[in-house]
């Protein structure tokens, strides 16, 4: 293994764990696991506090993958619990959306950026979706979302549909992570097209 580097401009937890010096925030995962069961958790932090990197770490921990996430956590404080005591690790399908650095100046741009983010996430799960979905209507929906821009109705239900379909594919609950969840709404407000925005 080469010499570790400073994580300038790096937000991927996997890259940090393998290649960089970083502040160990894995206690945050322990907080989530110990938190009373709930459907939604909102985490607020000041700007430049590492929210995106923290969400990347949470995604790495929970997401079902061919790679064992333990490889990224075995040298962190979380490893003190022991792999056998972390049954949630690598268990769930994860939807990970980021609205960071998106700045639409019109409602049309808002729709285009939202479509881009959702399309990207569908493509990230496309193999599982094509293998696990049998309903023709769902397959047609996926195809339309990937090929056609600007269909407001399809876009409106894109997150709930992906949540439902991944649940069917994995027969498991789905973790949804949204970074900068309010960014597009703030831009819509500041840009004066918030009234058109019903998403």
Q: Is 112 left (phi over 0), alpha (psi -120 to 50) or beta?
A: alpha
pLDDT at position 196: 67
pLDDT at position 48: 62
Please state the φ and ψ torsions of residue 95, each to the nearest 5 degrees. Answer: -100, 120
Contact 61, 69 (CB under 8 A): yes
- Tell me how far apart the alpha carbons of residues 173 and 63 are, in angstroms, rounded to a whole number: 11
**Average pLDDT, 10 consecutive residues per value, the chain (199 residues):** 72 90 92 87 72 93 94 95 96 95 85 92 97 95 87 89 97 94 80 69
Query: Within the chain, where are the H helices?
Result: 13-19, 27-34, 51-62, 70-73, 107-124, 126-132, 136-147, 152-156, 158-170, 183-191
pLDDT at position 197: 58
pLDDT at position 136: 96
Contact 129, 142 (CB under 8 A): yes
Please state the φ and ψ torsions of residue 39, each to the nearest 5 degrees. Answer: -85, -30
Contact 88, 62 (CB under 8 A): yes
pLDDT at position 2: 59
- Tell me how far apart the alpha carbons of residues 70 and 61 are, in angstroms, rounded to a whole number: 8
């Amino acid at each position: 293994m080469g010499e570790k580097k400073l994580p300038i401009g790096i937000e991927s937890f996997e890259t940090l764990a393998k290649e960089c010096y970083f502040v160990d925030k894995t206690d945050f995962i322990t907080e989530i696991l110990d938190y009373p069961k709930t459907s939604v958790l909102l985490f607020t932090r000041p700007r430049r506090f590492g929210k995106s990197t923290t969400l990347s770490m949470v995604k790495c921990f929970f997401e079902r993958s061919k790679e064992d996430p333990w490889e990224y956590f075995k040298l962190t404080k979380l490893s003190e619990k022991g792999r056998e005591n972390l049954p949630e690790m690598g268990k769930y399908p994860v939807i990970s959306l980021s609205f960071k650095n998106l700045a639409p100046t019109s409602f049309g741009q808002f729709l285009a950026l939202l479509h881009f983010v959702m399309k990207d996430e569908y493509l990230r799960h496309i193999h599982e979706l094509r293998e696990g979905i049998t309903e023709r209507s769902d397959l047609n929906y996926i195809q339309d979302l990937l090929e056609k821009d600007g269909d407001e109705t399809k876009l409106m239900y894109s997150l709930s549909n992906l949540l439902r379909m991944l649940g069917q594919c994995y027969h498991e609950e789905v973790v949804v992570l949204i970074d900068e969840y309010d960014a597009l709404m703030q831009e819509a407000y500041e840009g004066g097209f918030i009234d058109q925005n019903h998403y």
